[in-house]
Structure 1
């Protein structure tokens, strides 16, 4: 059966959705099994059954499955009450079929146990006990109220042996179905636990980022005042006659001014990233202008040769997000540390998303690093504090609704970020 889980389904409702889908699949098997059993009993053993009524019950089960599939495809919330109602309807259908075919004398009466076991796994405690009470009451009523089966004389002599064979078939059927579906239900529950564990891990990582951001913001505030003082002092020095008459000394002061201005720009970027009002507001730009500038400025500042390929196509207006810029710079810094000589950068478009691939010709990533992709301090360097670059890039990418992937090439590695344009588009796409 094709997957009917809507992509927008909340994580907390995935297990209920999958368990309801398992009930639908079990119901299809029940319809097919009952149809085969009814036809075999009627045609092979010449035992006359109320065919119209029994086929009507099967038709009701088919309609119930249709309604269940509509609910699943629409993303309806599958609660404990919904699952309880579905199992009660299955019990009612089984009770009707048993009433029409000998009641409690029918060896397939043990199928009630299948409903009880499924209820104990899928439902809350009170609902499970309610299902126990309902099935026990149904069994008791079927011992008194049922339509007896008229058996041909040829079968009357071997009735007990036939009953034993029916019980064996019922036991085998219940055992197989329990193993199939209870194991799948447990797998659904384990998958839900894994998703919640991933969410908790992401929350811890994001809390770690917040702490880093707070420390960086505090340091930026502390550095702002002395940097401003240094800038004023160097400006005064530059105008002093003793320095203006010495070209070499003047050049040193100008170099110091440039470095101070660079430090102030870094501090401004940190404050802007943390949402501090002292940071400058984001400006409008375009994909091509933004990434061309980031790569060019980085190459000039590091004095590195970068092979840059722009295959984005028609340009799109976006916001000049400092956090995104810093993420790209981190990717370039990581590539520069790993590269033997060459760094390749490719900007492209994949549908309504941009992709940026940064490659190097270094040693590539070890297997254990690939397994821990996006986790903090995942680095091949022995020094403490390394390994935050890809961690920060991964979290920025995830916050923007994108993905990060890493592959090892014949020589070196390539890191690709994929970002939906809708998350960074300004509204005027420039077309």
Structure 2
């Protein structure tokens, strides 16, 4: 069994390993510098406490390498590691000349790392800590005993200027690095959204090809069944039995409905079905959708018409199927009453479908528009909302889904009327 590590946890571990590697380099660099200053330049340093600090850094590295394998690495852990590095550098500088030591500028490395690896507030905290440490080292440190040829005196105003210069550089680093990181994050999010939409579009194309093929395959047997039922309806034995005649008529109606659905699938996939696009009005289009669904589920749905003046449109089969899918989902959620409100908000058509069912599970609300997100356990479930969302997207609209405070769910379609209107419509 392969364990899948979340991307955030993997990034935290890689960042921790990066800090560990940098600390090894810091330990090696400090060791080389201490030995060179002590023995090559003859400057007396407090060797034991400085070596003790290097030992603490080595121990911290070993502890972090062991802890990294056991639990996820958090922002707090990375922040603590950088604060320890700052404290260790402060001690080493205190023992070797304080702010007069040319290596005091290494504080900026911690600030730069924090602004890249940590959350923004953590980066600003490092600015405060390093600035305070630099300021303290300008007045409190262990002076070095230098030979006459190496001595130099830095005035207090010069040290204060160095501190101000350091603080300004640290602020600018955090300010611009965090902005650049945010811009890159937003760009990556946009690219991820575009890749997701491309994947969904490819998924829809595959589904369309499959549905188109299935529609062609089902057309012939449905036509045969329709002819057979027509022959049965003319049989004297069936015509003389009202119950049988009613059942045959019901079957003919259901077959006709299946043929109509298949014609809609072929039309939505861009294939010619022998039927011209249907010119109708907005009110008639919505009324027929609700009436057709009501014939299958009598007494469950009502239409609240708040459209105002009617408008000529071309009947969109895909939109009709999307609305039907939402109504079917409401019934499957146990709804006993469904209200469809249709209204015009300027040039926007708004359809609100409210039901008194069991509501929508949080997982579906979170992943609205993703395929196969369903509370039903049957194969292929979860495509209704996916198709409805993408139908609205193609038409330039949106679909929002929410749970109502008093129970049940609400689905709201919003789309521009221009997507349905005739070119010569007012």
TM-score normalised by the shorter chain: which range applies?
0.5 to 0.7
RMSD: 2.5
Contact map agreement 2:215 2:262 (CA 8 A) in 1? yes
Contact map agreement 1:269 1:279 (CA 8 A) in 2? no
Equivalent residue, structure 2, for 1:406: 401
CA distance in 2, matches of 1:285, 1:237: 35
Equivalent residue, structure 2, for 1:257: 252
Q: CA deviation at 1:367?
A: 2.1
Contact map agreement 2:344 2:350 (CA 8 A) in 1? yes
Aligned length: 277
Equivalent residue, structure 2, for 1:209: 204
Cα distance per residue 1:239-284 (max 9 Å; x no partner): 4455545555444443333232222222211111111112523222
Structure 1 residues 364 and 240: CA distance shift in structure 2, 3 A: closer
Equivalent residue, structure 1, for 2:326: 331
Equivalent residue, structure 1, for 2:35: none
Equivalent residue, structure 1, for 2:281: 286
CA distance in 1, matches of 2:235, 2:342: 48
Equivalent residue, structure 2, for 1:422: 418
Cα distance per residue 1:78-129 (max 9 Å; x no partner): xxxxxxxxxxxxxxxxxxxxxxxxxxxxxxxx9xx9xxx9xxx9xxxxxxxx
Structure 1 residues 284 and 308: CA distance shift in structure 2, 3 A: same
CA distance in 2, matches of 1:361, 1:194: 36
CA distance in 1, matches of 2:254, 2:293: 15
Contact map agreement 1:338 1:360 (CA 8 A) in 2? no
Structure 1 residues 412 and 185: CA distance shift in structure 2, 3 A: same
Which of 397-406 and 204-213 deviates more?
A: 204-213
Higher RCO (CA 8 Å, separation ≥ 6 residues):
1
SS at match of 1:395: helix
Structure 1 residues 315 and 218: CA distance shift in structure 2, 3 A: same
Q: CA deviation at 1:299?
A: 1.0
CA distance in 1, matches of 2:387, 2:163: 61
Structure 1 residues 365 and 229: CA distance shift in structure 2, 3 A: closer
Equivalent residue, structure 2, for 1:363: 358
Equivalent residue, structure 1, for 2:12: none
Give the alignment's TM-score, normalised by structure 1.
0.59
Cα distance per residue 1:385-423 (max 9 Å; x no partner): 211111110111111111111121121110101101222
SS at match of 2:413: strand
Equivalent residue, structure 1, for 2:374: 379
Q: CA deviation at 1:323?
A: 0.7
Give unpaired runs (5+ residues) of structure 1: 1-109, 122-157
Contact map agreement 1:282 1:322 (CA 8 A) in 2? no
Give the alignment's TM-score, normalised by structure 2.
0.60
Equivalent residue, structure 2, for 1:228: 223
Structure 1 residues 339 and 193: CA distance shift in structure 2, 3 A: same
Structure 1 residues 345 and 252: CA distance shift in structure 2, 3 A: closer
SS at match of 2:319: helix
Cα distance per residue 1:343-364 (max 9 Å; x no partner): 1111112232111111111121
Contact map agreement 2:311 2:421 (CA 8 A) in 1? yes
Equivalent residue, structure 2, for 1:34: none
Structure 1 residues 369 and 238: CA distance shift in structure 2, 3 A: closer
Q: CA deviation at 1:309?
A: 1.0
